[in-house]
Structure formats: structure tokens, C-alpha cells
């Protein structure tokens, strides 16, 4: 048997080997349904107050068509009601946040291991190769800034096959442009308003809400506080202070046509209102024209060197090949990485978030290389089955299994931002197309089996009741120089809910809506 099979949980492997189709269709727990008719009535009665509250509290997206009004915006896609999850599983993931911080920093500073791990992906994927090239160039010239700021988000789904106890399995670890922090906090505020305002009393809406949530007493008491709008701006401010130039600015690197402006602006406003730190927004293309770096000190200044000094570079772009439409954007990225400014993230942190690194860390002894055995065991408890592909990997057995029952696997490239993975029959189709070298740009992952719940999804002022499943993200912030951690904290959470049958889970990519957790025993 291929050595990669060691990552497949034994019980799961047995079921897959015996009856894969039965496993996929029969092992998933039945959906939790409330009275669909009553939930539809709830959606009708709450739609207008919900949408207006959301829009007046910053849950906005830029409109797709801004040809007439460049300031036009629409309601951000959100769930009308929070999503029920076990409190114990939620608390366990919160406790892992600092361990992910420690692991990311340790891996990013072990460059021989990082480069060797990513070599197969870089050989098959030009984007990964360019990022590795920047990293190597920066370190060859001498690293000017050892402090690195991370705003990470570890994403999980609740695996609930058959009668097994539910547990979170990690989907991915995001180390660049981890978004939806502000919208997540504002969605929690929205849900607190709806449940407190309409969830008490004896009217039909209140009764239907309590039925949906299982008569759980005071409904708002089951919503955990979400600290994203406190902790993430505080981390950026801490990095700004560590840089040591009070009048410098935080540079937010954004995409040219950014629809998710409100999620970013809330962080900008909090930085100014709570910490007195200014934010300047620029795209990589603009920075190529306007940025200047002092060749001796590495200090960055805007306006071709005549403007403000940059203390922190906060990337909300740069995670996709689409962000580099020409060599100009790549040249701007290199200058940013070579500078004295603190990067969030550095290119090394970004590389740690690659799917190939996630898969390599699942190998026996890999996590233990970087953190102690006790903490390693805690992280391993949330690893899904992961398999490497391509040159240097014994992948024939797992490819055969994935092609025979592709519904049990997800094929993932080295990409961020949603809409890039392969599911179902497309897994087999893509695997058959790829050469051995091309497979090195992908990993295979166990398909996670969550339980479905009735949910109300709202988008652009409309509501629809349907069965949905959720992906749960846990933010963490870290600032360190490789010798000591100046900051390491859990920084809030994100819930993204999608309809049953929808494979991807990105809100900005149009696949999901934002929700919040409703903790149950």
C-alpha cells in the first residue's frame, strides 16, 4: 500500500475500501429540519428589518455594475439566522489558534524544509515558482526585517459521519488576505439584534425561532462574542508600533476593482479610531508607479519617495495570479518584500499557506519537527486525510481510489480565493488529464461529511429557505522575529454557509453567505 495512505483515518479507510458509494450516501447524518413552512414565514417577516439593519451596519458589497454610480453598493450575502454547532468543538478550535501561529512562524523560518517541500509544486506551477523566487532573492540579499505579522485563518468543517462524535477537520490554513473578519463581526451583531428583538415572546415568529433552535432559553446567550474588529486592528497597530515611526502609515495592498471594500474599510476605520494609525490603500500596479525604497535603509515611501513612510504592508491582494497582470506587479511585490516595512504576510508566510505544505505537514513527524509532541498531537487531531501527488510521491494507489469514487475526495491546486478546487466526477477527469509533473501542483484531500441544517440565505434583498452546511474559520494574529513572539492571540471567527450541493465556500467568490455560530451542547 502506498505510504501516503497512512494519513487516512483507519475507520474511514475501512469504509471506503469496503463500500465507497454506500459510505458517501449512507454515512452522512440525516439533515436537521425544523418546520420548513414556519421558517419561510420567519424569513418573510424578518427580511425587510434584517436587510435594512445589515445595510445600515456596514454589511455591504460594491455593486457589480458601477457604470452609472461608482459608489453603488448592495447587501452582503448573509444568513438570516446563525448556524448551530457543538460548543465543545468550537472551544477546541479556539484553543488551537496559538498553536497554528507557532507552527506557521516556525515553518516560515525553516527555509530548507519549506523550499524542499514546495519544489514539486513550483516545478508544476509558475505562480508558486515566482513566489519562491522572491523569497530566495530576499534572503540572498539579506533579510532587512525579521519581524513578521500574521493574520491567519484556519478553516474547518464539522465531520459528522454516521453515529460518530462530531469533530472539526481542517479544510485549509489561510496565511494571506484572510478576509471577512469585519463582516463576520457585523453579522454577529445582526444576529444578536434579530434574536433579541424577535426571538422572545409568544408571537409566531418568536415561537418559530425557538423551535428552530430547540427551545434553547435566551437565544442570544448562545452567540459567542466575535473579537475580529478588536484583535485584528490591534495586531496591525502593534506591528506599526514595533516598526518605530509614529507618523508612518499602514499600506493596504488591494485589488484594482475590489467589491469587498466594506470588509476592509472597517479595519481601516478601527485602526484610526482606536489606535490613531493611518491606512493608505494602493494596488500593486499603483505601487509600481508610486513606491520608492531607500537602497541603503530599505525604508519605503509613497509618492515616488516624497510621501509618507510605510510601517506595515498589509496584503489584501497578491494571493492569486490574477493580481499580477504584468511584470510591473511582480516588481512591486519584490520591492515590498525587500523593504524594511513589516509584511502581513511576508512571502514566506504566504508560502506556508500553500496546499502542498498543508499536505506535507500531515506526514508522520512533520509537525513534530516544529513544535512539541503534545501540541503536535492536538493539531493532528483536526487533520483530514491528505495525499501528495506527482514526482516523488507514491500516488498510484490513491489516484486509482479517487478515480473509482471521486465523491470521497477533493482535488486542490496551490490557489487561494475560492473557485479553484475539483469535486465529484471532475476529480477523476482532472487526474486523468494531468501528467506526473503537473500533478505536483495538486493535493488530494478527504471529503468532509458535515450535517445539513435548515437555513435562510439572503442575497441582494431576497431570502430563500434551504438545507445548508457551513465552514468555520478561526482567526489568529501573530507578531514575532523568530526568537520571540511579541503577540499571539485568537482573533475571532467566521462562519460561511452554503447550500447543499454547492462545493465551494467563498463568499467573495459568490458561493456562500456569512453566518455566525449558535453554540449548543
* 172 annotated active-site: yes
DSSP string spanning 272-307? Answer: HHHH---EEEE-HHHHHHH-EE-TTT--EESGGGTS
* 174 annotated active-site: yes
* 160 annotated active-site: no
Query: Is 355 labeled as ligand-binding?
Result: yes
Query: Is 172 labeled as ligand-binding?
Result: yes
Query: Is 420 labeled as ligand-binding?
Result: yes
- 380 vs 162, 196, 343, 375, 461, CA distance in Å? 22, 39, 29, 9, 42
Give the phi and the psi of residue 409 in degrees, each rounded to 5.
Answer: -140, 160
Query: Is 151 labeled as ligand-binding?
Result: no
* 412 annotated active-site: yes
Question: Which among 213, 214, 211 has a CA at the least distance from the CA of 38?
Answer: 211
* 510 annotated active-site: no
Query: Is 255 labeled as ligand-binding?
Result: no
Query: Is 210 labeled as ligand-binding?
Result: no
Query: Is 318 labeled as ligand-binding?
Result: yes
Question: Which among 28, 87, 54 has a CA at the least distance from the CA of 192?
Answer: 54
Annotated catalytic residue, options 231, 283, 496, 505 = 496
Annotated catalytic residue, options 43, 101, 154, 174 = 174
Query: Is 248 labeled as ligand-binding?
Result: no
Query: Is 259 labeled as ligand-binding?
Result: yes
Residue 414, SS3 per DSSP: coil
Q: Which three cell numbers stand for residue 364?
A: 508522520
Neighbours of 296 (CB within 10 A): 6
First to last CA, the chain: 40
Query: Is 260 labeled as ligand-binding?
Result: yes
Give the phi and the psi of residue 204 in degrees, each rounded to 5.
Answer: -55, -35
Annotated catalytic residue, options 333, 416, 489, 506 = 416
Query: Is 293 labeled as ligand-binding?
Result: no
Annotated catalytic residue, options 285, 298, 417, 461 = 417
Return the exposure string of 61-87: e unless at least 16 CB atoms fall within 10 Å of the residue's CB, then b: bbbeeeeeeeeebbbbbbbbbbbbbbe
Query: Is 413 labeled as ligand-binding?
Result: yes
Query: Is 521 labeled as ligand-binding?
Result: no
Distance CA 512, CA 472 (A): 12
Query: Is 372 labeled as ligand-binding?
Result: no
* 425 annotated active-site: no
- Torsion of the alpha carbons at 394, 397, 400 and 405, rounded to the nearest 10: -120
Catalogue the E-assigned strands of 296-372: 300-301, 310-315, 342-344
* 186 annotated active-site: no
Distance CA 44, CA 436 (A): 53
Query: Is 369 labeled as ligand-binding?
Result: no
Query: Is 447 labeled as ligand-binding?
Result: yes
Annotated catalytic residue, options 84, 109, 153, 401 = 153
* 311 annotated active-site: no
- 100 vs 113, 189, 201, 401, CA distance in Å? 17, 27, 43, 31
Query: Is 508 labeled as ligand-binding?
Result: yes
- Ramachandran assignment for 464, one of left (phi > 0), alpha (psi -120 to 50 degrees), beta (any other): beta
Q: What is the DSSP letter of 406?
A: G
Query: Is 421 labeled as ligand-binding?
Result: yes
Query: Is 507 labeled as ligand-binding?
Result: yes
Query: Is 276 labeled as ligand-binding?
Result: no
* 123 annotated active-site: no
CB of 443 within 8 A of CB of 389?
Answer: yes
At 66, which helix (H) or strand (E)?
Answer: none
Annotated catalytic residue, options 15, 102, 172, 188 = 172
Query: Is 217 labeled as ligand-binding?
Result: no
Query: Is 316 labeled as ligand-binding?
Result: yes
Annotated catalytic residue, options 7, 301, 412, 451 = 412
Query: Is 153 labeled as ligand-binding?
Result: yes
Cell numbers 490591534 label which residue?
234
Query: Is 179 labeled as ligand-binding?
Result: yes
CB of 170 within 8 A of CB of 93?
Answer: no
What residues are labeled active site?
153, 172, 174, 179, 355, 412, 416-417, 496
Q: Which residues define the annotated binding site for ATP?
A: 172, 355, 412-421, 423, 445-448, 471, 498, 504
Annotated binding site: 153, 172, 174, 176-179, 258-260, 264, 316-319, 355, 412-421, 423, 445-448, 471, 496, 498, 504, 507-508
| Binding site per annotation, positions for substrate | 153, 176-179, 258-260, 264, 316-319, 496, 507-508
Residues comprising the binding site for Mg(2+)?
172, 174, 416
Amino acid at each position: 500500500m502506498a505510504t501516503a495512505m497512512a494519513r487516512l483515518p483507519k475507520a474511514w479507510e475501512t469504509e471506503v475500501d469496503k463500500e465507497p458509494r454506500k459510505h458517501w450516501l449512507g454515512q452522512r447524518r440525516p439533515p436537521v429540519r425544523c418546520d420548513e413552512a414556519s421558517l419561510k414565514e420567519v424569513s418573510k417577516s424578518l427580511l425587510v428589518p434584517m436587510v435594512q439593519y445589515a445595510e445600515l451596519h456596514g454589511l455591504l458589497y460594491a455593486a457589480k455594475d458601477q457604470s452609472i454610480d461608482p459608489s453603488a453598493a448592495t447587501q452582503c450575502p448573509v444568513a438570516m439566522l446563525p448556524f448551530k454547532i457543538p460548543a465543545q468543538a468550537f472551544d477546541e478550535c479556539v484553543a488551537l489558534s496559538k498553536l497554528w501561529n507557532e507552527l506557521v512562524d516556525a515553518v516560515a523560518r525553516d527555509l530548507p524544509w519549506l523550499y524542499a517541500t514546495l519544489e514539486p509544486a513550483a516545478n508544476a506551477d509558475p505562480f508558486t515558482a515566482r513566489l519562491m523566487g522572491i523569497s530566495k532573492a530576499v534572503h540572498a540579499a539579506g533579510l532587512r526585517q525579521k519581524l513578521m505579522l500574521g493574520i491567519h485563518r484556519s478553516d474547518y468543517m464539522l465531520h459528522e459521519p454516521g453515529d460518530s462524535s462530531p469533530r472539526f477537520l481542517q479544510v485549509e490554513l489561510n496565511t494571506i488576505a484572510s478576509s471577512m473578519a469585519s463582516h463576520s463581526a457585523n453579522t454577529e451583531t445582526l444576529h444578536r439584534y434579530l434574536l433579541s428583538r424577535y426571538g422572545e415572546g409568544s408571537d409566531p415568529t418568536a415561537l418559530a425561532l425557538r423551535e428552530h433552535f430547540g427551545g434553547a432559553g435566551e437565544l442570544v446567550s448562545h452567540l459567542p462574542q466575535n473579537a475580529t474588529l478588536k484583535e485584528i486592528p490591534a495586531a496591525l497597530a502593534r506591528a506599526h508600533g514595533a516598526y518605530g515611526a509614529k507618523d508612518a502609515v499602514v499600506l493596504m495592498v488591494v485589488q484594482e476593482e475590489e467589491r469587498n471594500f466594506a470588509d476592509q474599510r472597517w479595519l481601516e476605520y478601527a485602526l484610526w479610531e482606536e489606535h490613531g494609525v493611518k491606512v493608505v490603500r494602493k494596488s500593486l500596479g499603483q505601487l509600481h508607479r508610486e513606491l520608492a525604497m531607500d537602497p541603503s535603509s530599505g525604508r519605503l515611501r509613497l509618492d515616488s519617495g516624497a510621501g509618507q513612510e510605510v510601517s506595515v504592508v498589509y496584503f489584501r491582494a497578491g494571493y492569486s495570479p490574477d493580481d499580477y497582470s504584468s511584470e510591473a506587479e511582480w516588481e512591486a511585490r519584490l520591492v515590498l518584500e525587500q523593504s524594511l516595512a513589516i509584511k502581513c504576510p511576508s512571502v514566506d508566510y504566504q508560502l506556508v499557506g500553500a496546499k502542498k505544505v498543508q499536505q506535507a505537514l500531515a506526514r508522520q513527524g512533520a509537525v513534530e519537527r516544529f513544535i512539541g509532541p503534545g501540541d503536535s498531537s492536538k493539531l493532528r487531531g483536526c487533520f483530514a486525510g491528505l495525499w501528495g501527488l506527482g514526482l516523488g510521491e507514491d500516488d498510484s494507489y490513491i489516484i486509482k481510489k479517487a478515480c473509482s469514487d471521486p465523491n470521497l475526495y477533493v482535488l486542490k491546486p496551490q490557489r487561494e480565493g475560492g473557485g479553484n478546487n475539483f469535486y465529484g466526477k471532475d476529480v477523476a477527469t482532472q487526474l486523468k488529464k494531468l501528467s506526473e509533473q503537473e500533478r505536483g501542483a495538486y493535493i488530494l484531500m478527504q471529503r468532509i461529511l458535515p450535517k445539513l441544517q435548515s437555513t435562510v440565505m439572503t442575497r441582494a434583498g431576497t431570502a430563500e429557505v434551504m438545507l445548508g452546511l457551513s465552514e468555520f474559520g478561526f482567526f489568529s494574529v501573530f507578531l514575532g522575529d523568530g526568537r520571540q513572539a511579541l503577540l499571539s492571540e485568537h482573533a475571532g471567527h467566521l462562519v460561511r454557509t452554503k447550500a447543499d450541493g454547492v462545493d465551494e465556500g467563498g463568499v467573495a467568490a459568490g458561493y456562500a453567505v456569512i453566518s455566525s455560530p449558535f453554540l449548543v451542547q
